[in-house]
Amino acid sequence: MLAIQTTLAAPLHAERSVTSRAQLARFLRGICLDIGADHYILVQPSVERGPKSVRIISSNWVFDALEDFGSEGIANLIESGNTTGVGERPQALTPETSPFLSTRERAGLVEHGHVELYCQKLSACGTMAFVLFSSHISGQIQPTALTLAHMKCCYGLAQFFKSNDNFAANDPLSERERECLLWVSEGKTTDEVALILGVSANTINSYIANAIQKFGANNRAMAIATAIRSGII
């Protein structure tokens, strides 16, 4: 009896248990309905695959649109700095006013009905992700509703990450490698880190070399910068 009551009392588009990818997709479709968006795509910047690459977690874009726009286009959009953090005023993007996209990418967006886009930055369980909402007519997405939905996306994603470790772990480093990088970022030299962790300096150097290789970085400084930027340390 109680269960029936809660279902009835719940708002129309509410999926509140987000543990599987099917539920995540349903949750995001519900949010699209709430804010007036036609399409969503949820991506994670991918450290392992190098710069300008993303990993798509969930999306209702048609395959052709994704192929035309490409994950590089999505990475360009994210890196252009036109993303909105939680609590910030949503910012609408249109293909015409996005000089950071190539002509082909812009044409691809318009052709597949992504006329107005909102790119929201999400942070859940220490991992960063981005969700892109789009509509085929401008003005259809409600910015006020989007601000609430933005927070809810963070909650949904946090629930999803808790039950799907492989997605949350956008961290290619081993615990030891992470520890080494953390100390190096605090200004410690190889010898000092060796002393702190109680292993030889050669071991420390090999941990750091591994981390540099995993990030595809040129040197230590770049590896540290990559690790800080992606929130690993």
Residues that bind other proteins (CB under 8 A): 6, 9-11, 14, 16-17, 85-89, 123-126, 144, 147-152, 154-155, 157-159, 184-187, 189, 217-222, 224-225, 228-229, 231
Cβ contact 83:48 at 8 Å: no
In the bound state with other proteins, the residue whose beta carbon lies nearer, of 24 and 124, is 124
Q: How many CB atoms lie within 10 A of CB 222?
A: 13
In the bound state with other proteins, the residue whose beta carbon lies nearer, of 96 and 165, is 165
In the complex, what is the shortest distance from the CB of residue 166 to other proteins, in angstroms, rounded to a whole number?
A: 18
Q: What residues form DSSP beta bridges with 117?
A: 93, 134
In the complex, what is the shortest distance from the CB of residue 154 to other proteins, in angstroms, rounded to a whole number?
A: 6
In the complex, what is the shortest distance from the CB of residue 228 to other proteins, in angstroms, rounded to a whole number?
A: 5
In the complex, what is the shortest distance from the CB of residue 134 to other proteins, in angstroms, rounded to a whole number?
A: 21
What the block records as the tokens of 221 is 């400084």
Cβ contact 124:24 at 8 Å: no
C-alpha distances out from residue 200 to 53, 64, 175, 213, Å: 36, 53, 17, 20
Residues 6+ apart with CB under 8 A from 201: 190, 191, 194
What does the alpha-carbon distance between residue 28 and residue 48 come to, in Å, rounded to a whole number? 26
In the complex, what is the shortest distance from the CB of residue 233 to other proteins, in angstroms, rounded to a whole number?
A: 8
Beta strands (DSSP E) in the chain are 39-45, 54-59, 92-93, 116-124, 127-135
In the complex, what is the shortest distance from the CB of residue 68 to other proteins, in angstroms, rounded to a whole number?
A: 30
In the bound state with other proteins, the residue whose beta carbon lies nearer, of 115 and 227, is 227
